[in-house]
Chain A
């Protein structure tokens, strides 16, 4: 029984396609979606310029999360937004432990390799490819 779906988002078109797929599935199953975005750590020294870039990245991440939230609302899907910062692998492991999702949905161009995600996930993982409807994002898939 799939009651909780973890949707791991990033800036790729494949992640947008994964969002659409996950929301459609959640609607059919009456499942809750946890939409996750992990901001990687900044390794550059903190200056006003790097702070500005970092704030802009965070705002972009929130924009994506709220876009998905809006889509979920229109489909009557329950959703919670998770914006995390840190090493993607480490944070991903913590989220899996903390939320114990029944299914993980991720775009094929995600922040970790598909092998790494499968290795870390005790639950089934679905990888979603970019579709023509979701093309046009900045990041190449």
Chain B
């Protein structure tokens, strides 16, 4: 049974206002709680894997959303981190707009199915106006969870 998006997001990995402004620094800031919680074991390996993908793909999916992601043995399980940036971060989105909602996905090499499913589920969820607006307005971590849980039930 594949886990829901809300189940893959540890509470400590929700950052309501990112301090970093540049893509690489944002990825490190989002990776930090995953490393601290032991979901990612090697920061350099993980960040390199994410940045390698960033060099080949635009993980900014438009609408102010970016989903940087990587499958790497530096990840112990499939896990998410979420950060919000009022200023916006350049993730080379095809629509040319900065990303304000950033979800980082880490997954082990062996969990391809769960990884693809999580990317698909999250991308579908974040294409909905009401989800993006709700995430931008959420005042607390609880509100972030409540919103995701509400909309991932369809």
Contact = CB atoms under 8 A, between A and B. Distances in A.
Partners in one complex: yes
Interface of A: 48, 51-52, 55, 58-60, 62-63, 65-67, 69-70, 72-73, 76-83
Consensus secondary structure, chain B interface: helix
A20 to B, nearest CB: 17
Contact of B61 (A58, A70, A77, A81): A81
B116 A73 contact: no
Determine the interface band of chain B, counting residues with CB < 8 A from chain A.
10 to 19
Contact of A48 (B112, B124, B154): B154
Given A48-B154, A51-B154, A82-B94, A72 B127 contact: no
Interface in B59-94: 61, 71, 94
Given A67-B116, A78-B57, A83 B121 contact: no
Interface of B: 53, 56-58, 61, 71, 94, 112, 116-117, 119-121, 123-124, 127, 154
Nearest to A98: B94
Given A51-B154, A55-B154, A83-B127, A72 B57 contact: yes
Main secondary structure of the interface of A (DSSP, over half): helix
Nearest to B117: A63
Contacts of B53: 73
A66 B123 CA distance: 10
A48 B56 CA distance: 38
